[in-house]
């Protein structure tokens, strides 16, 4: 379950960054997010001692602990109560993570990218359990049908801070902003295509 906890910490950062960037919502005190991370560490310790717990039990525990953070924040007179959107967004992110990882388990049994796609066998096996969050600085990303900049684009664009599944990596790379970056074959809500690795934060 280590990947799950790394991703859970990532989505806390996503919620925190969205809250800080929203001019219409007051920024929550940093201790609210610190408490969220503490709750995750508590779950991590519990699971390490009891590995018989199901994945669904852990998601439910995660949701319960985030509700505890909300109640504790409201009850603490020394810390300003965070806007409800912070907690509702966190719960929504947990639900999205649950759906993504459950879908990932099914896809792992079915995904076989052929050699013509440019995804090598070694890269594919190493990436089966990877997920990432897009980092496009508030913009959106184009999803290409092949691993080159001249390839046809999907009509869908991927928003910033979106959770995606990594299926593999291209063998070729391009020079971007002074660095070499590969193309990454991803799945976003059932749509598959290629993104540049430099726009992803991997767990």
Residues 152 and 78 in one domain: no
Residues 39 and 104 in one domain: yes
Residues 9 and 47 in one domain: yes
Residues 103 and 125 in one domain: no
Helix (H, G, I), strand (E, B) or coil at 190: coil
Longest dimension (CA), the chain: 61
pLDDT in tens, 91-149: 988 887 777 666 655 554 544 444 445 554 444 444 445 788 888 887 889 898 888 88
Mean pLDDT of 48-76: 87
Which of 93, 110, 127 is where one domain is finished?
Answer: 110
Residues 34 and 122 in one domain: no
* 171: containing domain: 115-202
The pLDDT value recorded for residue 17 is 84
Residues 91 and 44 in one domain: yes
pLDDT in tens, 79-91: 999 999 999 999 9
Residues 11 and 96 in one domain: yes
Which of 92, 110, 128 is where one domain is finished?
Answer: 110
Mean pLDDT of 176-201: 86
Q: What is the pTM of this model?
A: 0.57
Residues 168 and 181 in one domain: yes
CATH of the domain at 157: 2.30.30.40
Residues 33 and 89 in one domain: yes
Q: Give the number of other Cβ atoms within 10 Å of residue 77's Cβ.
A: 7
Residues 90 and 167 in one domain: no
Domain count, the chain: 2
Q: Which residues pair with 175 in a beta bridge?
A: 180
Residues 99 and 173 in one domain: no
Which of 95, 110, 125 is where one domain is finished?
Answer: 110
Sign of CA dihedral 199, 140, 92, 163: negative
């Amino acid at each position: 379950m280590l990947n799950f906890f790394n991703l859970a910490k990532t989505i806390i950062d996503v919620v925190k960054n969205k809250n800080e960037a929203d001019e219409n919502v007051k920024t929550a005190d940093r201790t609210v997010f610190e408490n969220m991370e503490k709750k995750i560490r508590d779950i991590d310790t519990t699971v390490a001692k009891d590995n018989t717990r199901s994945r669904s039990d852990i998601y439910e525990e995660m949701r319960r602990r985030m509700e505890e953070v909300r109640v504790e924040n409201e009850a603490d007179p020394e810390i300003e109560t965070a806007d409800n959107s912070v907690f509702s967004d966190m719960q929504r992110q947990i639900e999205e993570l649950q759906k993504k990882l459950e879908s990932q388990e099914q896809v792992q049994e079915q995904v076989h990218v052929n050699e013509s796609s440019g995804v090598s066998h070694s890269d594919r096996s190493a990436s089966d359990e990877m997920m990432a969050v897009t980092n496009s600085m508030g913009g959106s990303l184009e999803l290409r049908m092949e691993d080159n900049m001249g390839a046809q684009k999907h009509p869908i664009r991927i928003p910033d801070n979106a959770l995606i599944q990594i299926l593999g990596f291209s063998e070729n790379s391009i020079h971007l902003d002074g660095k070499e970056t590969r193309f990454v074959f991803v799945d976003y809500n059932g749509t598959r295509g290629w993104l540049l690795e430099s726009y992803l934060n991997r767990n």
